[in-house]
Amino acid sequence: MKENYEERTERLLEPIVSGFGFTLVDVEYVKEGADYYLRAYIDKEGGIAIDDCEKVSRRLEEELDKEDFIPNAYILEVSSPGLGRQLKKEKHYLSNIGQKVDVRLYKAIDKVKEFTGVLKSYDNGHFVFDVDGKDMELEASSISKINLHVDW
């Protein structure tokens, strides 16, 4: 059901977001404690402002009220994906080739479970990372999480 809610919300949200000149990054429907959250992450060149989030939220809320496909009460949040955002979808991987990323694995490889490297390529569930000048090839099934790296 969760995926269905996310997909349907994405379909409603895409024309709204593109109409404002923004990019839809992701939608997630999650339960945290006793509450359900429907979160939409949007972006644009130069970054998203609170006013941008408010405009999208109002329009999305109208559409969600019309469609009314989520039976339980939820909290709607529209925000920027943040600097160290998680990459989850093929479009995220492809648009971030050449970027530095932080990778967490399900199982350690050579006693390493987390590393930082440059995403060199992605093709059909197969990743290549440059880690300290060496190529590391991994299948998506071995990767728990990939985030954009943030230098502090």
Give me the domains of the chain, ranges plus CATH numbers: 2-79 (3.30.300.70), 86-148 (2.30.30.180)
Q: What are phi and psi of 35, to 5 degrees?
A: -105, 150
Position 91 scores a pLDDT of 86
44 membership: H or E segment, kind and range: none
Each residue of 50-90: pLDDT tens digit? 999 999 999 999 999 999 999 999 999 999 988 888 898 89
Is 90 exceeded by the pLDDT of residue 8? Answer: yes
3-state secondary structure of 132: coil
Residue given tokens 């059901």 in the structure block = 1
pTM of the model: 0.75
Position 81 scores a pLDDT of 86
State mean pLDDT over 136-146.
96
Is 80 exceeded by the pLDDT of residue 25? Answer: yes
Q: What are phi and psi of 23, to 5 degrees?
A: -120, 135
Q: Are 63 and 99 in contact (CB under 8 A)?
A: no
Q: What share of the chain is helix, strand, coil (3-state, %, to 5)?
A: 30, 45, 25
Each residue of 93-139: pLDDT tens digit? 998 999 999 999 999 998 999 999 999 999 999 999 999 999 999 99
Cα gap 44→91, rounded to integer Å: 15
Position 148 scores a pLDDT of 93
